[in-house]
Amino acid sequence: MEVPRIDLVIFGATGLTGKHAVIQMAKLAKKYDIGSWGVAGRSRDKLENLKAEVAKRTGEDLSHVKVIVADIGDVASLHAMCAQTRLVVNCCGPYRMYGEPVVKAAVESKCHYIDVSGEPQFMELMQIRYDERAREAGVFVISACGWDSVPADMGVIFLKQNFKGTLNSVESYLSGYLPPDIAEESKERGVIGFGTWESIIYGMADHSQLAQLKKALFPEPLPQMKPEVKLKNLQKKDGSWYLPFPGADESVVYRTQRFLYQNKQERPVQFQAYFKGGSLGRSLLTICSGVVIFMMAKAEWTRKYLLNHPKYWSSGYVTKQGPTENVMNNTHFTFELVGKGWAEGANVDTMPPTKTVVAKVTGTNPAYGSAVAALLMSAVTILKERHNMPEIGGVMTPGSAFNNTNLVTRLNETQLKYEIVSS
């Protein structure tokens, strides 16, 4: 007789991301009717202590929360964990090192899988290796359900749904804000967690693999949309200079648009992502520093030096200790998504784009607040709206899996805000 599965398990629960996920789940479980859930990791004692700490912090009774001992190096324990749940929320990264065994165990145990990976190489490799198997199992494997790349990927979906015409392109502009007193506090321990820095450095080290993976994943290119919107190395907007954003957003959005084109015959939206560099001098310095770091990431001994001295090489943004709770909770960000295309009824073949609609996605604490909110709302959406998701299952992006669901509505109820600001 098969034992009933609990709704979800947070794996890697005692890590920094996992701990914040447990805290938020304790607050949200009743609201979203998550009847049964659990925490998993290597140490039962640490998991029990985590439950006690979160219960005291939130005032919630967590005695019913299941504790599961599972180790990334113990395949049998991963299968045992996945066999007990409908959905595993994987908070154990970097995913290029630790992600695949959990994906494999989830697919083989026929449970859904999500994570907060911002590592294109890992995500595209998982699609190559496990997409067909996940479809056969009838489950979803969805990475990038955190800050990389729910704001951008679902932002493009949101903009497209509100465009009222034909959307040709979206350019995303990321900016951040710290109050002056918080900026002063951040000088000691930075504003970005070490795990993010680690993912960036290893992503640079393996950057050459991306083109090969993309070619293996998509042998035929998408049709070229016109007018073509090309990436700019440096551009000025609203008095500040913006640089190409080095995260996973472009890779994720591309995969989403590819899925919608192939499966729903929707015109693919071109997408380019930028982040605020500040003054021209500072932006040029950032470019030069980025080139040096990129070259150093290629060799093992210089890569190790980058990982051992993050504060110096990140200009103080990253430390091994990670930012304080106060800094994280007061770090604000905005994605401004500028969509251009044609109004309803316009001839897209003969007329240039004349319509512009601007959306904004705003939030706080991108690493452990908004990211975890996006992760858990993605989990809730799978559990509550499987009927609104693609019937086939498989390895997908947030935009391809959730484009017909109420995920954005749920995000607006938590720590992310999606809005149309001008048209």
Residue 93 to residue 101: CA distance in whole angstroms: 12
Residues sharing a CB contact under 8 Å with residue 377, sequence separation 6 or more, in sequence order: 407, 410, 411, 414
Residue burial 331-364, b: 16+ Cβ < 10 Å; e: rest = bbbbbbbbbbbbeeebeeeeeebebebbbbbbbb
pLDDT digits (tens, 9 = 90+) for 340-391: 999 999 999 899 999 999 999 999 999 889 999 999 999 999 999 999 999 9
pLDDT at 222: 87
pLDDT at 421: 95
What the block records as the tokens of 263 is 């499966």
pLDDT at 247: 86
CA nearest to 247, candidates 204, 308, 189 = 204
CATH 3.30.360 range(s) for the chain read 150-365+414-422
Residue type, 260: L
Residues sharing a CB contact under 8 Å with residue 318, sequence separation 6 or more, in sequence order: 190, 192, 193, 194, 196, 197, 310, 311
CATH 3.40.50.720 range(s) for the chain read 8-146+373-400
Fold annotation for 8-146+373-400: Rossmann fold (3.40.50)
pLDDT digits (tens, 9 = 90+) for 280-301: 999 999 999 999 999 999 999 9
pLDDT at 179: 92
- Using 50 as the pLDDT threshold, list the residues of the chain that sit under it: none
Fold annotation for 150-365+414-422: Dihydrodipicolinate Reductase; domain 2 (3.30.360)
> Is the Cβ–Cβ distance between 91 and 59 less than 8 Å?
no
What the block records as the tokens of 267 is 């015109």
pLDDT digits (tens, 9 = 90+) for 195-206: 888 888 988 888
pLDDT at 171: 97
Residue 99 to residue 82: CA distance in whole angstroms: 14
> Is the Cβ–Cβ distance between 229 and 169 less than 8 Å?
yes
Residues sharing a CB contact under 8 Å with residue 60, sequence separation 6 or more, in sequence order: 26, 27, 29, 54
User: What's the pTM value of the predicted model, to 2 decimals?
Assistant: 0.95
Is beta strand 394-396 parallel, antiparallel or unpaired with respect to 416-422?
A: unpaired
pLDDT at 2: 65
